[in-house]
Amino acid sequence: MAQPDISVKELSSDIRKAIEQLKVRPEIESVGIVTRIGDGIAWVYGLRDAGFNEMIEIESETGHVTAFALNLGEDEIGAVLLGDDRYVKAGAKVRRTGKILEVPVGPELVGRVVNPMGEPLDEKGPIKTNRKGRVEQAAPGVLDRKSVHEPLMTGLLAIDSMVPIGRGQRELIIGDRQTGKTAVAIDTMINQHRQQTGVINIYVAVGQKLSKVARIIERLKREGVMDQTIIIATSASDPASLQYLAPYAGTAMGEYFRDNGQHALIIYDDLTKHAAAYRQMSLLLRRPPGREAYPGDVFYLHSRLLERSAKMSDKLGGGSLTALPIIETQAGDISAYIPTNVISITDGQIFMETNLFYQGIRPAISVGLSVSRVGGAAQTKAVKSVAGPLRLNLAQFRELAAFAQFSTDLDAETKQRIERGQRLTELLKQPQYSPLGVWEQTAILMAANDGAFDSVELEDIKQAQQALLTTLHREHKKAMQTLNTGAKPTDEIIKIITGVASQVAKTYKKNTEQPRT
């Protein structure tokens, strides 16, 4: 191989020039002094030019600890530490970095578990990306957006039929503890993988038990979903500052996909703990407490977060960031301070009821209290064509449910409504980690509307449903694939489904001719 034409003398001169350029020139810099430190808050004298949310570095015994300036006083700054405050002493020097809080963003984060600073927690090596996204960023303006019109299928029949979610929407999941809120979010993530939608999932765990986060990661890996998921994890033992930053960091990562024409789904689990972490920080910063000791800007805490989830205009790539914030209520009180705040910000809510959960109705979605303000615009034509009567039928059933125990004294129409409602309730039950595709949801609802399941015993409904789906998949695969595209079902497809449904129902028909004993 011919050697390149290099002059050693020229190389020597170039190297000297390069070394000169690398020489560090000392400058007079502004420094602050830590006057007080404790509970993750450092009070710093000086740094009058520091900006809001600017990152500062505090000397410590182990090197430097990063903090960000939240309270800008006339002669003092209140800074929240992002690391351990044990090794920071009063009198330590503090330097400005001139940078606002940023986290690494990009496709390199997909499949990884990170902390709110973007540092890996999964022992898979460093995140190799040069791109940075601001943790605090202005939401897109009105003209940069487009109305929500594409569906984001959760795979849960109850939600996709009655409370449909669209790409770019903010739909709140709210309920007491242990009612299946996270389960709804996990199933939605799994469905993005099963239906190969290409949506990137971002799961933000705020102050959660690490055992819970580990279980979720394990499940996502088992379902093959981790390959399109980013997890930002903070545990209950992490500083309040990291718990406060986690949702914003996750949103910054999601904005990368939104602004590059891709679609992302972000789950905040949960914003109640986020508000509590912010309350802790604000009280330690001596900000005046308001209602329930929350600071006065706790609404703004969530509104500026959730406004960043949007559907972008075609001019800006048409990407979207869909948000599923989770709020935990106490004793079903959705009129409390934080729940009402977030309900007023989001584009609808899915209310999970404890009573329904313990009755075995899972997902325990309260149809009466759940709503999607985007509605049919975010629904596939296929599901929309069959979901219309569902809400009404269930509402009528709820009104008549009290009479169910006196069924022998009711007229035929009332009895039929009650029976239909019971069967619909049974059909809406769904096991965890089993999201349904578009064709499956459409087939089930079409069969139910046609009355195919009216003659089936209540305890056989789920078996009949499964038999319907199995038969359709085995004998009419091509038609079901067409239906799965989301297009409105043709007459031929309707005929196929109703035909198979009635055949299946005959097998499970309740025997009303048995002699009385």
Partner 1 sequence: MVKASVKQLAEAIYALIESAKTQKELTETIAAYLVVEQQTKDADRVLREVERLRYERDGVLEIVASSRRNLNESTKQVISQIFEAKNSKIVEQTGENLVGGVSIQALDKWLDLSIRGRLNQLKNTNLGKG
Q: Which CB atom, from 39 or from 454, has the smaller least distance to partner 1? A: 39
Q: Give the number of other Cβ atoms within 10 Å of residue 497's Cβ.
A: 27
Q: What is the 3-state secondary structure (H, E, C) of 353-414?
A: CHHHHHCCCCCCECCCCCEECCHHHHCCHHHHHHHHHHHHHHHHHHHHHHHHHHHHHCCHHH
**What's the closest the beta carbon of residue 283 comes to partner 1, in angstroms?**
19
Q: Is the peptide bond before 363 cis (omega within 30 degrees of 0)?
A: yes
**What's the closest the beta carbon of residue 46 comes to partner 1, in angstroms?**
4
Can you read off the two tokens belonging to residue 287? 């900000």
Q: Which CB atom, from 2 or from 18, has the smaller least distance to partner 1? A: 18
Q: Which CB atom, from 46 or from 489, has the smaller least distance to partner 1? A: 46
Q: Which CB atom, from 97 or from 470, has the smaller least distance to partner 1? A: 97
CA angle 334, 202, 125 (to 5 degrees): 140
Can you read off the two tokens belonging to residue 24? 């560090």
Q: Which CB atom, from 77 or from 184, has the smaller least distance to partner 1? A: 77
What three-state secondary structure class fits 480? helix
Residues that bind partner 1 in the complex, under the rule CB under 8 A? 22, 24, 26-33, 35-36, 45-48, 74-76, 93
How far is Cα 259 from Cα 261, in angstroms, rounded to an integer?
6
**What's the closest the beta carbon of residue 29 comes to partner 1, in angstroms?**
6
> What angle do the packed helices 210-222 and 181-194 form, to 10 degrees?
20
Strand 63-72, strand 54-60: pairing: antiparallel
Strand 172-175, strand 348-352: pairing: parallel
**What's the closest the beta carbon of residue 162 comes to partner 1, in angstroms?**
54
Q: Give strand pairing partners of 175.
A: 328, 352
Report the first-to-last Cα separation within the chain, whole angstroms. 100
* Known active-site residue 373: yes
Backbone angles phi, psi at 264, to 5 degrees: -135, 155
Q: Give the number of other Cβ atoms within 10 Å of residue 410's Cβ.
A: 15
**What's the closest the beta carbon of residue 28 comes to partner 1, in angstroms?**
5
Q: Give the number of other Cβ atoms within 10 Å of residue 283's Cβ.
A: 16
**What's the closest the beta carbon of residue 23 comes to partner 1, in angstroms?**
9
Q: Which CB atom, from 45 or from 337, has the smaller least distance to partner 1? A: 45
**What's the closest the beta carbon of residue 125 comes to partner 1, in angstroms?**
16
Strand 54-60, strand 93-100: pairing: antiparallel
Q: Give the number of other Cβ atoms within 10 Å of residue 218's Cβ.
A: 11
How far is Cα 105 from Cα 266, in angstroms, rounded to an integer?
14
**What's the closest the beta carbon of residue 353 comes to partner 1, in angstroms?**
52
Q: Which CB atom, from 93 or from 415, has the smaller least distance to partner 1? A: 93
Q: Which CB atom, from 47 or from 445, has the smaller least distance to partner 1? A: 47
Q: Which of these is catalytic: 194, 287, 304, 373?
A: 373
Q: Which CB atom, from 27 or from 513, has the smaller least distance to partner 1? A: 27
How far is Cα 263 from Cα 273, in angstroms, rounded to an integer?
27
How far is Cα 259 from Cα 252, in angstroms, rounded to an integer?
11
Q: Give strand pairing partners of 81.
A: 67
How far is Cα 223 from Cα 180, in angstroms, rounded to an integer?
19
How far is Cα 70 from Cα 446, in angstroms, rounded to an integer?
56
**What's the closest the beta carbon of residue 48 comes to partner 1, in angstroms?**
7
How far is Cα 207 from Cα 277, in angstroms, rounded to an integer?
8
Catalytic residues: 373
